[in-house]
Amino acid sequence: MSDIGCHALVWTGTFEREGLTRAVERTRNAGYDLLEIPLLRPHAFDVATAKEILADSDLDVSASMGLSDATDIGSADPEIVKAGEQTLNKAVEIVSELGGRHLCGVLYGVLKKYPGPATAQGRANSQDVLRRVARRAADSGVQLSLEVVNRYESNMFNTCKGALEYLDEVGDDSIKVHLDSYHMNIEESGMIAPVLAAADRLGYVHIGESHRGYLGSGTVDFGSFFRALAMVDYDGPIAFESFSTAVVDDILSVSLAVWRNLWDDSDDLGRHANDFIRGKLRAVETIALH
């Protein structure tokens, strides 16, 4: 059974005690199993406080992240690549300490519009780092999943096929693919083939609408996507992502180009998405009876 999760930015743009407490309480109240925390500044993250707040709830936890220009493991600069490896190792350590099992997102580079295509050197650098980080992650019981994002947010790969090729070159089966319906809706030919192509190499799923607002109010073909997840017996996390100027994180809001308000009531949005996801899962489950 998949854990149904919610990205913390639905509830809070800050991750000190107050913000985290709010995110944990509201995620639980909206009916989710898991809280996904964006680890935007792993070295500044207060693990002890987060651990304490999570211990008071029965929520599972996961973390997502992207690297910065100073920690881009896809860079040609060895110092920057080294800083990136340290940041990823720190993030793995945090997830492990929090009792989480998943670290996902753009772990292979920066979430930004790159000025040109990825270089062979940058690709190889990022793959070398991920090969090493994956071994440490496996020892800590943490699974890495690389998120496939659209062309405006990465130049490394933009489709599931591209991610699988990249991972074939890495050659470590413990690293999985992370698919996000929002990005798939921009770059893929449909919502079924990528899931079938990834099959048991799919490790994490983000559910986002085409405009990243209320599920069902945009153009994403969720019916097909959930059918495909059922076809491959996907049982990893399924986390809802939505962004609005109603809740702002300085780094993430800018890199994701969140310029307008798509909702103002986090509780209503969160409950709606939880019901929406569970409803789709229930529907595809019954196909087995047909």
For Mn ion, the binding residues (CB under 5 A) are: 180, 206, 241
Q: Report in angstroms how near the CB of residue 106 gets to Mn ion at its nearest.
A: 9
Distance in Å, CB of 241 to Mn ion, minimum: 5
Count of alpha carbons within 13 Å of 31, Cβ hemisphere only?
14
> Nearer Cβ to Mn ion, position 85 or 180?
180
Q: CA 3, CA 38: separation in Å to the nearest integer?
A: 17
Q: Rounded to an integer, what distance in angstroms lies between the CA atom of residue 37 and that of residue 144? A: 15
The answer to whether 147 is a known catalytic residue is: yes
Q: Indicate the pairing of strand 34-38 with strand 4-7.
A: parallel
We find the least distance from the C-beta atom of residue 264 to Mn ion, in angstroms, to be: 22
Q: Letter for the amino acid at 289?
A: L
* Closer residue to Mn ion (CB): 7 or 272: 7
Q: Which is nearer to Mn ion, 209 or 241 (CB)?
A: 241
- Minimum CB separation of residue 181 from Mn ion in Å reads 9
Active-site residue identified among 147, 153, 188, 209 = 147
Q: Determine the Cα–Cα distance for residues 237 and 239; give it in Å rounded to an integer.
A: 6
Distance in angstroms (rounded) separating the CA atoms of residues 107 and 67:
7
Minimum gap (Å) between residue 114 Cβ and Mn ion: 18
Nearer to Mn ion, 125 or 185 (CB): 185
- Closer CB to Mn ion, residue 60 or residue 153? 153
Q: Which positions are catalytic?
A: 147, 241
